[in-house]
Amino acid sequence: MAASKKAVLGPLVGAVDQGTSSTRFLVFNSKTAELLSHHQVEIKQEFPREGWVEQDPKEILHSVYECIEKTCEKLGQLNIDISNIKAIGVSNQRETTVVWDRITGEPLYNAVVWLDLRTQSTVESLSKRIPGNNNFVKSKTGLPLSTYFSAVKLRWLLDNVRKVQKAVEEKRALFGTIDSWLIWSLTGGVNGGVHCTDVTNASRTMLFNIHSLEWDKQLCEFFGIPMEILPNVRSSSEIYGLMKAGALEGVPISGCLGDQSAALVGQMCFQIGQAKNTYGTGCFLLCNTGHKCVFSDHGLLTTVAYKLGRDKPVYYALEGSVAIAGAVIRWLRDNLGIIKTSEEIEKLAKEVGTSYGCYFVPAFSGLYAPYWEPSARGIICGLTQFTNKCHIAFAALEAVCFQTREILDAMNRDCGIPLSHLQVDGGMTSNKILMQLQADILYIPVVKPSMPETTALGAAMAAGAAEGVGVWSLEPEDLSAVTMERFEPQINAEESEIRYSTWKKAVMKSMGWVTTQSPESGIP
Tell me the DSSP string of 318-356.
EEEEES-SHHHHHHHHHTS-S-SSTTHHHHHHHHHSS-T
Cα–Cα dist 200/282, whole Å: 18
What's the pLDDT at 157?
96
CA 206 to chain centre: 16
Residues 6+ apart with CB under 8 A from 375: 366, 511, 512, 513, 514, 515
* Spans of the chain below 50 pLDDT: 1-7, 518-524
Cα–Cα dist 343/454, whole Å: 20
* Beta bridge pairs of residue 35: 28
For 202, phi then psi, to 5°, come to -60, -35
| Cβ proximity of 180 and 195 under 8 Å | yes
Give the amino acid at 50.
E
What's the pLDDT at 520?
45
3-state class of 397 per DSSP? Answer: helix
Q: Are strands 315-322 and 283-290 parallel, antiparallel or unpaired?
A: antiparallel
What's the pLDDT at 493?
78
Pinpoint the alpha helices (H) of 42-119. 57-77
CA end-to-end span of the chain, whole Å?
A: 62
CA 430 to chain centre: 18
68, 73, 78, 83 alpha-carbon torsion, rounded to 10°:
60
User: How is residue 304 annotated by DSSP?
Assistant: E
What's the pLDDT at 519?
46
- The number of beta carbons lying within 10 Å of the beta carbon of residue 512 is 11
With 0-12 / 13-18 / 19 or more C-beta atoms within 10 angstroms meaning exposed / middle / buried, residue 505 is: exposed
Cα–Cα dist 304/488, whole Å: 31
Q: Model-level pTM greater than 0.75?
A: yes
Q: Is the peptide bond before 252 cis (omega within 30 degrees of 0)?
A: no
What's the pLDDT at 343?
82
3-state class of 16 per DSSP? Answer: strand
> What length is written for the chain?
524
What's the pLDDT at 26?
97
3-state secondary structure 432-492: HHHHHHHHHHHCCCEEEECCCCHHHHHHHHHHHCCCCCCCCCCCHHHCCCCCEEEECCCCC
Sorted by where each starts, the structural domains of the chain and their CATH numbers stand as: 12-258+451-465 (3.30.420.40)
With 0-12 / 13-18 / 19 or more C-beta atoms within 10 angstroms meaning exposed / middle / buried, residue 66 is: middle
Q: Which of 335, 389, 329, 327 is nearest to 358 (CA)?
A: 389
Cα–Cα dist 90/17, whole Å: 6
142: alpha, beta or left, given left = phi > 0 and alpha = psi -120 to 50? left
3-state class of 53 per DSSP? Answer: coil
